[in-house]
Amino acid sequence: MFLAATAVLLCYFPNPLLGASVVIMILLLVLFLVCPLYATVLSLVIRSSLDITKQVFSVYAPGDLQITAANAFSFILIIGGTIYILAHRVPFLKAPLAKLLLLFLAISLIHFLIVDDLALSLMEFMRFLSAFIVYILVWDSAQNSKNIRMIVNAILISAVIPVGAGIYQVVMDRGQFITGFIRAYGTFVHPNPFAFYLVIILALAVNFLFLKQRPLIRSALFGVIILGGVCLLFSFTRTAWFGFLMVIFLAAFFQDKRLFWLLIVLVLVFSILTPLRSRFYDLSTSFNSISHRLYIWRGGLAHLPSVPLLGRGLGSFVLLDVHQEPAHNDYLRVFLELGALGLLEYLALSVALLVKLYAAIRRPGSPYGYSLACATFSVAVIFLTSSVLSNILFRPVLQWYFWALMAVTLKASEIEEFPSEFGTIKKPLTK
């Protein structure tokens, strides 16, 4: 029956990849309805590898909207996740930060009344909504230590294909030629989101090294750090480089002070190696990346509405820019698109998130939960600070993993039943 259904779909969709994608989407939707935990885990494993399919599989809808495997996958998750949440009466309002996240979605929804391109604005809203659904599904699924470790392992395993692709691009010199460098981009559409995704993976791997693990697991973590670090290095994404240094700094602060020596070594490496130093040379030229961003920001501020309380609606920044460039500043983009009201709400959400994550670190608990909280706190700090110069908030793949990590960490901080095999914290922080 399955083969017959597949044959029928392939008849209607001559492109084999398109037909196979439709079959996978249907199976995934069924899996969401039957077993949301495994559907969520599967989604986290494969989502990092979907953006690259934009090059071989895409359908254009009316209004020049490009439908790819990634946003079709998000649509299936929204449908399946929503049905599960409503059918099982998941108390999603009890999830930490859920009310602030819903308020942000509500503010985004209000702007449909004034937005210039309704289809584009709706697409942006669906991306935010998919990240919220991921957050709730992960929070609801992480009911015990086994599920928590399964979800975290899924995030780590999701790096296998992107890192493998990145290493191939580095070795074979097949990256994207941008700003004078051949940059690794993995399975992403651009090196920058690939680099920030790697920051998430490396933060987890670095902090999990402080747990009492089996030799095979420790070797795998070292492999992730080495191969992921190579990909991060050759992504030539400066803000993500600083992000990784922040991971080491915070790991030294929370876990082991000896890591400060590693931080010094890494800074010296960045200072000595010519290819790395040359990435910073353009900052001394008359027109560099900073001046380019300032040019974009001035153009964005020039398009502020006469009453900036409400903004112009999701997706409007790119439409209003002369060269249709992204904002390279998430806070400015939120201000222009969602107004002062949206920006204040987003800042409140960011502060509340950092407060809860820091409380999770200081709360006496299991070593696993402690290392997870340290990793997640560092990712949150890096993402929120890097958003001043980068496009992070509006990258759906990054938001999926970011909010999945937030949900599983906040849930883990409430659980004390992690196995003793992970050892004990040498110097636990106390209130």
Residue 197, domain member (yes or no) = yes
Mean pLDDT of 165-175: 92
Q: Which of 54-58, 328-332, 364-368 has the highest mean pLDDT?
A: 328-332
Q: Which of 60-64, 70-74, 374-378 has the highest mean pLDDT?
A: 374-378
Q: Which residues pair with 60 in a beta bridge?
A: 66
| pTM, full prediction | 0.88
Q: What is the pLDDT of residue 171?
A: 93
User: Which residues, other chains included, contact 226 with Cβ-Cβ below 8 Å and sequence gap of 6+?
Assistant: none
Q: What is the pLDDT of residue 430?
A: 38
CA dist 344 and 350 (Å) reads 10
Q: Which residues pair with 68 in a beta bridge?
A: 58
Q: pLDDT category, 309, cuts 50, 70, 90?
A: confident
Residue 427, domain member (yes or no) = no
Residue 431, domain member (yes or no) = no
Instruction: Report the range of poorest mean pLDDT among 197-211, 280-294, 332-346, 408-422.
Output: 280-294
Mean pLDDT of 254-275: 83
Residue 295, domain member (yes or no) = yes
Would you say residue 274 has pLDDT above 80? no
Using an 8 Å Cβ cutoff, are 389 and 239 in contact? yes
Compute how many other C-beta atoms are within 10 angstroms of the C-beta atom of residue 110: 16
CA dist 355 and 299 (Å) reads 34
Q: pLDDT category, 325, cuts 50, 70, 90?
A: confident
CA dist 299 and 317 (Å) reads 9
Q: pLDDT category, 17, cuts 50, 70, 90?
A: low
Torsion region of 378: left, alpha or beta (phi above 0 gives left; psi -120 to 50 gives alpha): alpha
Using an 8 Å Cβ cutoff, are 236 and 166 in contact? no
Mean pLDDT of 298-302: 74
Would you say residue 22 has pLDDT above 60? yes
Q: pLDDT category, 31, cuts 50, 70, 90?
A: confident
- The model's pLDDT over 78-128, given as tens digits with 9 standing for 90+, comes to 888 888 888 888 899 999 999 999 999 998 888 777 777 777 788 888 889
Would you say residue 420 has pLDDT above 60? no
Q: What is the pLDDT of residue 50?
A: 87
Q: What is the pLDDT of residue 381?
A: 96
Q: Which of 111-120, 212-221, 379-388 has the highest mean pLDDT?
A: 379-388
Mean pLDDT of 260-275: 81
Residue 428, domain member (yes or no) = no
Using an 8 Å Cβ cutoff, are 92 and 140 in contact? yes
Would you say residue 42 has pLDDT above 80? yes
% of the chain at pLDDT higher than 90: 39
- The model's pLDDT over 45-64, given as tens digits with 9 standing for 90+, comes to 999 988 887 766 655 555 55
Using an 8 Å Cβ cutoff, are 219 and 266 in contact? no
Instruction: Report the range of poorest mean pLDDT among 25-34, 50-59, 72-81, 283-292.
Output: 283-292
Q: Residue 242 is part of which domain span? A: 2-422
Q: Which residue has the higher pLDDT, 296 or 403?
A: 403
Residue 286, domain member (yes or no) = yes
Would you say residue 314 has pLDDT above 70? yes
- The model's pLDDT over 139-160, given as tens digits with 9 standing for 90+, comes to 999 988 899 999 999 999 999 9
Residue 275, domain member (yes or no) = yes
Rounded to 5 degrees, φ, ψ at 214 are -70, 150
Residue 100, domain member (yes or no) = yes
Mean pLDDT of 198-212: 94
% of the chain at pLDDT higher than 70: 81
User: Which residues, other chains included, contact 138 with Cβ-Cβ below 8 Å and sequence gap of 6+?
Assistant: 40, 151, 403, 404, 407, 408, 411
Mean pLDDT of the chain: 82
Mean pLDDT of 169-183: 86
Q: What is the pLDDT of residue 427?
A: 41
CA dist 65 and 430 (Å) reads 51
The closest of 235, 289, 290, 243 to 266, measured between CA atoms, is 243
Our count of domains for the chain comes to 1
